[in-house]
Amino acid sequence: MDNIDKVFSTPLDEVGDFNFDDKVAEVFPDMIRRSVPGYESIIKYLGVFSRLFVKSDTNVYDLGSSLGAASMSMRRSISAADVKIIAVDNSASMVERSQKIFAAYESPTPVNIIHCNIEDVEITNASMVVLNFTLQFIDKDSRAALLKKIADGLNPGGLLVLSEKIHFANPVTQKLIDDMHLDFKRENGYSELEISQKREALQDILIPETFDEHRERLLSVGFRSADIWYQQYNFASMVAIK
């Protein structure tokens, strides 16, 4: 049973920037499931993508891996031999917890968990890379360089799965979908106080872009295709193939 997210349930004198600290890591599976529509489906289908794209003797990267849900799903599905999964996160709390989780399971596919900034990690000989709701936390001006590094490190035909909260250029659509997402959070038991305090904490650190902005940038850094394969409200998952 997951620990219940109560991080923003009491009034805070001052709502600081959102932080992936121990309080968040402890309740993370519950928090992301109740906040991100489609999260569990995307995790499941990452396994399907890995079965299709991961080749023997290559590396798979899970960038911004949190507690390792994406790596776990891929590891269960990969049948290719001599594959190494490299999971990277810059939150010490997430890394410590995910190391314990992976130590509890045995698998022929090793998962190497690295505590560092995804902008500093080297990407080589990759057949699949996952950025599952992580790029949105990277400074907007640094996103192209990170995506170019990923494109350069992928082998031809390799896959990037990029899941993001997205923004709609049309304000009417943006308001409609944003309201629907707020209702999704209410239905999942979040109070108005929790919703508004979390929104304030995230407003300067989670910067969504439109699908057109994502697509254009993915094509400009070396991917030959970039499309949405899954979307619920303003949460979309894209596939970009090198």
- Contacts with ligand GEK by CB under 6 A lie at 20, 32, 64-66, 69-70, 88-91, 94, 117-119, 132-134, 137-138
**For ligand GEK, which is the closer residue by CB, 83 or 95?**
95
Nearer to ligand GEK, 64 or 158 (CB): 64
| Residue sitting closest to ligand GEK (CB) | 64
Minimum Å gap between C-beta 233 and ligand GEK is 14
What is residue 47's three-state secondary structure? helix
Radius of gyration of the chain (CA): 18
CB nearer ligand GEK, residue 117 or residue 173 = 117
Beta carbon nearer to ligand GEK, 165 or 217: 165
Name the minimum Å distance from CB 156 to ligand GEK: 25
Query: CA torsion sign, 22 to 180 to 216 to 41?
Result: positive
Tokens 């936390």, located at residue: 137
Q: How far is the CB of 104 from ligand GEK (least distance, A)?
A: 17
Question: By C-beta, is 118 or 218 nearer to ligand GEK?
Answer: 118
How many angstroms from the chain centroid is the CA of residue 143?
Answer: 14
Buried b (16+ CB within 10 A) or exposed e, 199-230: ebbbeeeebbbebeebbebbeebebeebeeee
Q: Which two tokens stand for residue 21?
A: 């600290």
DSSP E strands, 18-83? 59-63
Residue 154 CB, nearest approach to ligand GEK (Å): 18
CB of 81 to ligand GEK, least distance (A): 25
Nearer to ligand GEK, 69 or 85 (CB): 69
Burial-class residue 25 by CB neighbours within 10 Å (0-12, 13-18, 19+). Answer: buried
Cβ count within 10 A of residue 122:
9
Q: How far is the CB of 70 from ligand GEK (least distance, A)?
A: 4
